[in-house]
A and B are shown apart, each in its own frame.
Chain A
Amino acid sequence: MINPEQITASYSKGWSPYLAGALVGVLAIFSVYLTTIYMGKSTYLGASTTFVRAAGLAVQIVDPSYVAENTYYMKEKVVVDWQFLMVIGIFFGALLSSKLDGSFKLERLPPLWEKHFGSSVPKRAVFAFVGGIVAMIGARLADGCPSGHGLSGMMQLSVSSFVALAMFFSFGVIVANLLYRKGN
Chain B
Amino acid sequence: MSIDQLLGLATGVIFGFLLQKGRVLRYDKQVAALLLKDMTIFKFMLSAILVGMFGILALHEMGLITLSLKAMNVGGVLVGGALFGVGWAVMGYCPGTSIGAMGEGRWTAIFGIIGMVVGAGIYAQMYPFFKSTVLAWSDLGKIGLPETIGVNHWVVAIVFAFITLGMFRWFEKKGL
Contact = CB atoms under 8 A, between A and B. Distances in A.
Q: Is the interface of B mostly helix, strand, loop or mixed?
A: helix
A155 interface: yes
Interface in A49-98: 50-52, 54-56, 58-59, 70-73, 75, 80-98
A8 B23 CA distance: 9
Interface in B47-70: 47-53, 55-57, 59, 64-70
Contact count band on A? 35 or more
A172 B64 CA distance: 37
B145 A159 contact: yes
A77 B158 CA distance: 38
A17 B72 CA distance: 30
Contacts of A19: 22, 47
A111 to B, nearest CB: 6
Most chain A CB within a 10 A radius of its CB, from B87, B111, B116: B116
Contact of B47 (A22, A139, A173, A180): A22
Contacts of B43: 17-18, 21
Contacts of A181: 35
Interface string B125-136: 111101000110
A136 B120 contact: yes
B163 interface: no
A34 to B, nearest CB: 6
Contacts of A31: 11
Contact count band on B? 35 or more
A182 B68 CA distance: 42
A41 B65 CA distance: 8
Interface string B1-21: 101111111111111111111
Nearest to A14: B23
B128 to A, nearest CB: 6
A25 B11 CA distance: 12
Contact of B96 (A12, A32, A87, A156): A87
A118 interface: no
Interface in B101-128: 101-109, 111-128
B80 A141 contact: yes
A5 to B, nearest CB: 11
B118 A55 contact: yes
Interface of A: 2, 4, 7-8, 11-12, 14-15, 17-29, 31-36, 38-39, 41-45, 47-48, 50-52, 54-56, 58-59, 70-73, 75, 80-98, 101, 103-113, 121, 124-177, 179-181
18 contacts: A20-B47, A22-B51, A44-B68, A92-B12, A96-B16, A103-B20, A105-B105, A107-B108, A110-B28, A112-B31, A128-B111, A131-B89, A132-B117, A133-B87, A136-B117, A141-B76, A160-B71, A175-B34
